[in-house]
Structure 1
Amino acid sequence: MKIAVIGTGYVGLVSGVCFSDFGHDVVCVDKDPGKVAMLERGEVPIYEHGLDTLMAKNVEAERLTFTGDLPAAMEGAEAVFIAVGTPTRRGDGHADLTYVMAAAEEIAANLTGYAVVVTKSTVPVGTNRQVKQVIRKANPKAEFDVASNPEFLREGAAIDDFMRPDRVVVGVQNDRAADVMNEIYRPLFLREFPVVVTDLESAEMIKYAANAFLATKITFINEIAALCERVGADIKQVSKGMGLDGRIGNKFLHAGPGYGGSCFPKDTKALARIGQDHAMPMQITETVIKVNEEIKRRMIDKIVDLCDGSLNGKTVAVLGVTFKPNTDDMRDAPALTVVPALVGGGAKVRVCDPQGRHEGEALLPGVHWVEDPYKAAQKADVLVILTEWNEFRALDLKRMARRMETPRMADLRNIYSAKDAKRAGFEAYEAVGRASQIKLFDAVDTAAE
């Protein structure tokens, strides 16, 4: 089957590459000539483990090509995927559908035979019907159907998520469109991965509801972590005890500096706005958004406390600035709140991140970038772990402590423990969801006696 994918961002490129690996003939389209040229050279504009190898394999097999020529890409295509950005619209929280509707108009102008127009982008409920109206108005004689096929890809694990999904969601209006979508996903159907076929509105809602629920789990455990700090409980033990309940599960119960990334922030805002527009406020989601911002600011307070109440003149080493490990994505990362606050407070900030520098240099002015975590720690007053990259999970803490001016650690991902820090020579350690660093160190000393 021939497939055209409009947009070579994260969702479009991963989807196009994986569809081609299913055996389909895929053409990925982008308006940016520079990006198309980069892809044709075999260069991947995003960091996603294994994507470059899989892309090269399918280009060599002549199943995957890149172009800026939409009419040529759509010639003979049985499915056209819209995979363009839907960022939060400035001022009102709505998802910005400008790129989606522009793509729909271009598709309408180039439809020459029957095709299913599939929205892969995350869009508010009702958008696919709007896409249909746009195409019908622009090309009344066009023969087409629309379908909703939301993505559920985790950055850093996107290929595995696409090839071995928890489920594939497809929203359609008739059997003809459903048959095309089933043919596209036949390799997954044959391996008995669930393909859930729904109406358009339900498919659109599933995406928002799923992301809002996961964001709620993260925010809930972060609130519980704050309470643990006050009452002397350990959030790791609490999370483990909760997660063993099959009704709850252990995923997304890791306390930290709040959620970020390309999906949760914009999708929670969009869902809240959809609720407001339909006189059905999403009160839990609205609270989640508010609390998540408060959590980020709470992390700043932890670092300030370790600096004896003032950041001015202090040197802070920050390990990790991407919103999660195994990605170069900085969108709505906690670092975009935390690091500027450190710089604004007068601190000298050194940053080390395996993939974050490319985007981070423009987003985090006033910091000094280094390639090695031990260089970041040189003469630092505080070490802050903000993203749990594997490179930071097994640091030589003694070596770290020796390099620092005042060996103090804000472990905002709970990678280590007070005992680890104390034995390595740190004089203070602050985590998330545990008692204060002083109490923890007292507990270690008592246990050793």
Structure 2
Amino acid sequence: MRLTILGGGGFRVPLVYGALLGDHAEGRVGHVTLYDLDAGRLSAVARVLAEQGAGTPDAPEVSATTDLDEALRGADFVFSAIRVGGLEGRAADERIALAEGVLGQETVGAGGIAYGLRTVPVVTHIARRIAELAPDAWVINFTNPAGLVTEAMSRILGDRVIGICDSPVGLGRRVARLLGASPEDAWIDYVGLNHLGWLRGLRVGGRDLLPRLLADDRALGSFEEGRLFGPEWLRTLGAIPNEYLHYYYFNREAVRAYREAERTRGAYLREQQGGFYAEMGNPDTPALATWRRVLADREATYMAANREAAGVGERDEDDLESGGYEKVALALMRAIARNERATLILNVRNRTTLPVLDPDAVIEVPCFVDAAGAHPVSVAPLPYHAVGLVTAVKAVEREVLAAAESGSRGTAVKAFALHPLVDSVSVARRLVDGYTAEHAGLSYLRS
């Protein structure tokens, strides 16, 4: 089986390759093609993969190219993990939003809208090339904003594009571990949009164990989401929110923490990863050891500003374990390629799962996966407070898609103005002015 990784020079690609190295079953991925616009980054990542695969006799072969069409031909699976504008663009998204007193995070609020506006045209082009050159390929999308990008690509590729995210997986594992349950044996009732979902139950043998956790102050305060949101708020909700909902429930505190921070997350990653690729320019640099050191620092500092706002300090060692998006990707590929049925939380088209949204809206829910793809599972209706957020943010996503298709500046302003975390049409207009002045990729927006 052939896997193409778009964004193959990205820092987290070795996580995906590491998961592939552990798969020795018949029909496994035998060849990985890395595609990226930056040949230097491709070379650096290829060196890390070569050290990873050393000593594994059946390690997948690796090739690299800067030609998109070459990368797509013959692919059985395409893993999309691109970053349009790079980390320089992410840092600018944060800076411009914070100057207006609103959130600039890359998937939530103004930053997520800016990122989506410059990413949707690119992934739409990629989807068309996949439809032309690899029409039977399955696309696994990890490109942010993941739900929005998956929906944009699904307009061309239909159900053959499936979005993945590590946040719900990590949350489910943490809750299961606290309740003494195996994540593999538990049914996780999770529903929402990407980075906007709630864990509403964790069932083992038909019994929901979540009420036991919600009644235990000590246990609620012992893991990442409990410390971020506080036991009282979790009990009030009757659910465990995805960590990204901290930006909504504690928006003032989060914005203040970001504005007071020495540097934003994007600026930090730009410096950190810039240092990594610079080090890798030296052929004597130990590639795998250097990558592992930088990865450990990256994971330890994840959502640091939110933890600062919540007054909870550094992440515990138990919370440093990755949600495992690379394992989700591997399980998804295996389920489709070998008809090994699996249950995974994925970003897929709604169909009839949530009646408050239309069938083509991409949502994040548990799915049964087999050779025919991912099938969303019926879930209980959303409570009204969740309906409000989900429908508001989905409306914003639709305006982003409309702006990307039409090139309308007015529609882009509407996308910003309708977001729950942007508090003024005047601010929305200034944001569009600021982002179009900064990003050449938004030059398509016209008055």
TM-score normalised according to structure 2 size: 0.37
**Which structure's residues are more often helix, by fraction?**
2
TM-score normalised according to structure 1 size: 0.37
